[in-house]
Amino acid sequence: MNVQSAINAGLFVEFVYENWNKISATTDLNGRAVVTGSGAPVIPGKSYTVQKTIYANDLATDINPARAKGCTTIGIIAQNDADPLDVVIAIRGTEGVWEWLQDFKFLPRPFPRVQGSGLTEDGFTDMYLSFSLTPGPSGTFMDDVVALLAASAKITISGHSLGAALATLLALDMAVNTRFPVTLYTLASPRVGDLSFHNLFNHVVQDAFRVANRLDIVPKTPPPLFYFHVGDETELVPPPELKFELGCEHSILSYFHMLAKLIGQEAKYPIDAKCLNG
């Protein structure tokens, strides 16, 4: 795995986290430049613009049924301004990840978008099937994506946390049902499907890279007796300065820092101040 490419892919996810308005829920990011909080391009020397916002149904939890917002902004499809064939699809996680983990019954169900793909976790699957390029359900998500992009586009898909699970389903759907070459980077992904899903995914999506902090609880769910990870794993070891708390071990900023440490660039990607020991 190219470590810098993994960080770059994750930075698109961070853009969605930072620009999604939690109050209005359906934030239209179309036409926005994909930049960092300081206004710099997420990848130095390259400019990307959001072509379409991705919406989904943010499902309620048993712990807090009121948290369901219905349709909400979940991701983006961004295009390189200088190279329209370079496309990045980024999917954010949920703000209520700990609610999700406590609620999940981890019931398996078929993934209807790909025949013979085994069984996938029902919550991830339901949320993925609600994807749309317009607020509200459309039922034509993949057709709309195909119509949006150049026929020879190369797609990089990225996701963090719940968004990583959704990105995994998207990568398989796109690899099987379109002609686009797909590369997948996931950070802190839970397991998504059973052994049949694992086998088919790894056969079809060969450029899939999964990054997991060994002390992050999310990649350890759902239980391994039925669910299996996909892709090539890079395991991260948290540094002593990272506070041993669930939120800190799972934070996308912590993942950037640990990845960057592998290539001696950790100073460029600092740990969130609230997650520093001492």
Phi and psi torsions of 228, nearest 5°: -130, 145
What is the rounded distance in angstroms from the CA atom of residue 157 to the CA atom of residue 184? 5
**How far is 229 from 104, CA to CA, in rounded Å?**
17
Would you give the distance in Å from CA 278 to the centre of its chain? 31
Q: Give the dihedral of Cα atoms 156, 159, 164, 165; nearest 10 deg.
A: -70
pLDDT of 259 reads: 98
Smallest CA-to-CA distance from 180 within 211, 209, 157 is with: 157
pLDDT average, residue stretch 135-157 = 93
Average pLDDT of 34-40?
91
Instruction: Give me the chain's average pLDDT, please.
Output: 91
Reply yes or no on whether the pLDDT at 209 is more than 70.
yes
* Partners of residue 70 on adjacent β-strands: 58
The number of folded domains in the chain is 1
How much is the pLDDT for 160? 97
Q: CA distances (Å), 248 to each of 130, 217, 251, in order?
A: 30, 11, 5
Domain CATH code at residue 177:
3.40.50.1820
pLDDT digits (tens, 9 = 90+) for 86-134: 999 999 987 666 666 655 667 899 999 999 999 999 888 988 999 999 9
Question: Strands of 86-91's sheet, edge to edge?
Answer: 48-58, 70-80, 86-91, 154-160, 182-187, 208-213, 232-236
pLDDT-above-70 percentage for the chain: 91
What pLDDT, on the 0 to 100 scale, is given for residue 62? 60
Q: Note down the domain range covering 127.
A: 3-275
User: What is the rounded distance in angstroms from the CA atom of residue 126 to the CA atom of residue 103?
Assistant: 15
Cα(209)–Cα(203) distance, integer angstroms: 14
264 vs 101, more confident = 264
Question: Does the structure show a pLDDT above 60 at 63?
Answer: no
**What is the model's pLDDT at position 26?**
82
Indicate whether 233 pLDDT > 70: yes
Does residue 21 have a pLDDT over 90? Answer: no
pLDDT confidence of residue 92? 94
Return d(Cα 54, Cα 136) in angstroms, integer: 10
21-25, 29-33, 74-78: the lowest-pLDDT one? 21-25
> In the prediction, which pLDDT does 135 show?
87
Q: Pick the residue with more confidence: 225 or 90? A: 90
Residue 103: what pLDDT?
59
162-193 per-position pLDDT tens digit: 999 999 999 999 999 999 999 999 999 999 99
> Dihedral sign, CA of 162, 90, 176, 1?
negative
Confidence check: pLDDT of 37 > 90: no
Average pLDDT rounded to a whole number, residues 254-263: 98
Per-residue pLDDT at 74: 94
pLDDT at 51 over 90: yes
The arithmetic mean of pLDDT across residues 33-54, rounded, is: 94
Predicted confidence (pLDDT) at residue 202 exceeds the cutoff of 90:
yes
